[in-house]
A and B are shown apart, each in its own frame.
Chain A
Amino acid sequence: DQQVKQNSPSLSVQEGRISILNCDYTNSMFDYFLWYKKYPAEGPTFLISISSIKDKNEDGRFTVFLNKSAKHLSLHIVPSQPGDSAVYFCAASGPGNTGKLIFGQGTTLQVKP
């Protein structure tokens, strides 16, 4: 039973435009959400996170939005750059402090020059 879902396997955007990656979850007890970026043959790299007490967190070109009532989060990348082309994983954890992350299946982003 998949508790974290990324329903778009792939996304293609033009350089300079906005990339929006979406993630849905089913467990209302999740209290911490993260986005990871992964290049081929490398491990996932932490990008940005958000606590369930917030609805937005921003770090440079990356912003994560959390809509708890809809159990939905999104990652916005503005402006998109060719180097952003990678697989993006959404992950969630909680409740409690086990550190157990539940990952979505990933979305492959391609940013075209």
Chain B
Amino acid sequence: DTAVSQTPKYLVTQMGNDKSIKCEQNLGHDTMYWYKQDSKKFLKIMFSYNNKELIINETVPNRFSPKSPDKAHLNLHINSLELGDSAVYFCASSHNTGSSNQPQHFGDGTRLSIL
């Protein structure tokens, strides 16, 4: 009964390819996030969605496109993958952003390696 689950856990692909990472949460949360942890271990927010509506869109290349079919899912599609996209991507969820005092719950990450 995993709370926030991401698939795949590992993704190895060639430069230039297009790939997707899926995320699902069963916590009943209505806000979901994508974070990127780079080689220096910094965790940085990329996007957040609240009830399928985009709330946060950090300075991320437009090759990255999040898609939220419903409030329990937030997928991340990446076009034309580049070497610099190699990182661990974490999905998270929380109760709505009406209050900032809500901890976020994270998935176990997807390790993306670009060859």
Give A residues with C-beta under 8 Å from B.
Answer: 31-32, 34, 36, 41-46, 49, 51, 87, 89, 93-94, 96-103, 105-106
Contacts and interface: CB of A to CB of B under 8 A. Distances in A.
B83 interface: no
A83 B40 CA distance: 24
Interface residues on B, range: 20 to 34
Contacts, number: 63
A44 B106 contact: yes
A94 B100 contact: yes
B44 A43 contact: no
B67 interface: no
Please indicate which of the listed interface residues B92, B103, B106 has the most CB atoms of chain A within 10 Å of its own CB.
Answer: B103
A97 B103 contact: no
Given A43-B90, A46-B104, A97 B40 contact: no
Given A32-B100, A94-B100, A103-B42, A41 B48 contact: no
Interface of B: 4, 31, 33, 40-45, 48, 55-56, 90, 92, 94, 97-109
Nearest to B9: A41
Contacts of A101: 45, 104
A99 B43 contact: no
Nearest to A45: B106
A31 B109 contact: no
A31 B102 CA distance: 12
Contacts of B107: 43
A46 B42 CA distance: 17
A36 B56 CA distance: 21
B90 A44 contact: yes
Nearest to A108: B41
B4 A43 contact: yes
A43 B56 contact: no
A98 B103 contact: no
A102 B45 CA distance: 8
Nearest to B101: A32
20 contacts: A36-B106, A41-B109, A42-B108, A43-B4, A43-B106, A44-B90, A45-B106, A46-B103, A46-B104, A49-B101, A51-B101, A87-B41, A93-B100, A96-B100, A97-B99, A98-B97, A99-B55, A99-B94, A103-B42, A103-B44
